[in-house]
Amino acid sequence: MKYLLIFLFALNITLFPQGEDKHIWRQLVSESGEKFWYDPTTFDSVSNDRLDVWILESHRPPLRFEGIEADVYRSKILYTINLLTAKYGLKKIRYYGLTNKELYSYDYDMYISDDTFSFPYPIITGSKIHLVLQEFLKKKRMQR
């Protein structure tokens, strides 16, 4: 019986892949008044001076993209930040429709191998990435 339960558990994991991790969203507001959310759960797992962080945005009016048939009402992007160079890049993108159904996804990290291409964008003061980075640094200071 014990082996049957182990087999069924392993079969469940293999046949029914688990969804993406659950997020804990914290809201931030930019200087322009734009609201967005970030997931600070990755703050404790920084390695090699790289921080990966999910940012969630709501889009009103919705965004329109060629190749995506429906309007995009939410986007969830996994950014990767190089803490030494103050540059960032994209790892994953998820776009959602009005009913929160995923419309499109893309994983950049499957193809990127060189740091030159992994972190092409500078962090601009006041940007979403800058605000999230400030939250990360606040948390690190509090842990000292």
Above 50 in pLDDT, residue 8? no
- Tell me the average pLDDT across 122-129: 94
pLDDT tens-digit profile of 68-118?
Answer: 999 999 999 999 999 999 999 999 999 999 999 999 999 987 765 666 667
Above 80 in pLDDT, residue 125? yes
Above 90 in pLDDT, residue 144? no
CA pair distance 112, 53, nearest whole angstrom? 17
Mean pLDDT of the chain: 83
53 forms beta bridges with 79
CA pair distance 50, 35, nearest whole angstrom? 25
Secondary structure (H, E, C), 23-91: CCCEEEECCCCCEEEECHHHHHHCECCEEEEEEEEEEEEEECCCCCCCCEEEEEEEEEEECCCCEEEEE
Burial class (CB in 10 A: 0-12, 13-18, 19+), 61: exposed
Nearest Cα to Cα of residue 75 among 37, 130, 21: 37
- pLDDT for the residue 129: 96
Q: Which residue has the higher pLDDT, 10 or 26?
A: 26
Residue type, 133: L
Q: Quick one: pLDDT band at residue 21, thresholds 50, 70, 90?
A: low
**pTM above 0.85?**
no
How is residue 107 annotated by DSSP?
E
CA pair distance 72, 94, nearest whole angstrom? 10
